[in-house]
Amino acid sequence: MSRPTDVTAFSRSLERWVTLQRMVLENFKRIDESVKTGDRLDLIIHTRLAFNHMIKTLKAFDDWLQDPFISSNIPKELLVDVWETTLKMMELLLELDIRHTSQVKNIIEEASREGRLNPILSQLKDLGGWRDEDKRGEGTSMSI
């Protein structure tokens, strides 16, 4: 028979995590309009902040599901909820990636045909200033 475990510290840690996540969520909701009406740099910076927080949260969730203490105590219904939500998020992410990458490809091709590419960046690309490998294709992102 198993003996009761003091989970007070663990419970407090989980509560702090939930509180932090709520604060981050409210912060992003609060700044949404100002970011959308901000300049391109605001959009890039805040999108990257959101990506970084999502990456951190996904890593923590993955670690969580690998923890035998957690995984052995989670009911199947909760795991089904996690799976269904994960699938929806993955679908949204992949749809965004497909849409955005396709649009950027078209924009770059059109700008190239019309001679509107930034000449400095085009020269950098020609000089090999672009990454050798890019996760989206053949070295299309700069590493400056």
Q: What is the pLDDT along the chain (144 residues), one digit of tens a residue?
A: 456 668 899 999 999 999 999 999 999 999 999 999 999 999 999 999 999 999 999 999 999 999 999 999 999 999 999 999 999 999 999 999 999 999 999 998 899 889 888 888 777 666 665 555 556 655 555 443
Listed residues 32, 47, 74: the one ending a domain: 74
What pLDDT is recorded for position 120? 81
In a domain, 141, yes or no: no
Predicted model pTM: 0.78
The pLDDT score that the predictor gives to residue 144 is: 34
- On whether both 59 and 80 belong to a single domain, the answer is no
Report the domain count for the chain: 2
Range of the structural domain that residue 13 is part of: 9-74
User: Are residue 49 and residue 80 in the same domain, yes or no?
Assistant: no
Exposure class string for 6-30: b at 16+ Cβ within 10 A, else e: eeeeeeeeeeeeeeeeeeeeeeeee
82 and 66 together in one domain: no
* 29 and 55 inside one domain: yes
Sequence-separated contacts (24+) of 113-119 with Cβ below 8 Å: none
The continuous run of DSSP H or E covering 141 comes out as none
